[in-house]
């Protein structure tokens, strides 16, 4: 089973802890011998999902939306990004250079294309900008990839 991730970045700490727990619970529902987690490994749910998948002995694949993508992520996240990129069994790229909303959406569409299922850490609200979580969920639904939404009760971002 190939399971991709999309989700909101910059979640408040109490929500972060609850989302991490939900992701660990969810990863346990799969047979880890056949599980491949697919992620763009941005800070937040992308990274937490990749870490959860690796923690059960499964493998990850990474989608890099743009050559300059890492540069646009917070400096404090670079060590996790670099570690996960090194641990990936495969790395896919859009071929784009600039890390723009269009590149992020293109990367997400590649991610969905490689996925049998998509996990969305999503509050159910419209995207704040092009390429946001709502856009990725809408794309997955359009192309027929099932989506599981994980969002803690009473949480907000």
Per-residue pLDDT reduced to its tens digit, 69-101? 999 999 999 999 999 999 999 999 999 999 999
What pLDDT is recorded for position 32?
86
Number of other residues whose CB lies within 10 A of the CB of residue 89: 10
Spatial separation of the C-alpha atoms in residues 65 and 152, rounded to whole Å? 28
What pLDDT is recorded for position 61?
98
> Which CATH topology does 2-149 take?
Rossmann fold (3.40.50)
Spatial separation of the C-alpha atoms in residues 93 and 110, rounded to whole Å? 8
What pLDDT is recorded for position 72?
96
Per-residue pLDDT reduced to its tens digit, 29-38? 999 889 999 9
Task: Give residue limits of the domains in the chain.
Answer: 2-149
What pLDDT is recorded for position 53?
96
Residues of the chain with pLDDT under 70: none
What pLDDT is recorded for position 78?
98
What pLDDT is recorded for position 73?
97
């Amino acid at each position: 089973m190939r399971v991709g991730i999309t989700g909101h970045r910059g979640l408040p700490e109490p929500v972060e802890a609850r989302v991490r727990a939900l992701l660990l619970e969810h990863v346990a529902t799969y047979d880890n011998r056949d599980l491949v987690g697919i992620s763009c490994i941005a800070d937040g749910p992308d990274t937490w999902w990749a870490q959860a998948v690796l923690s059960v002995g499964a493998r990850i694949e990474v989608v890099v939306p743009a050559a300059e993508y890492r540069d646009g992520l917070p400096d404090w996240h670079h060590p996790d990004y670099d570690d996960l990129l090194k641990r990936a069994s495969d790395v896919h790229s859009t071929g784009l250079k600039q890390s723009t909303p269009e590149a992020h959406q293109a990367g997400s569409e590649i991610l969905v294309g490689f996925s049998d299922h998509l996990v969305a850490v999503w509050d159910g609200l419209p995207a704040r900008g092009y390429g946001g979580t709502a856009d990725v969920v809408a794309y997955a639904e359009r192309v027929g990839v099932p989506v599981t939404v994980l969002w803690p009760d009473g949480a907000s971002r």
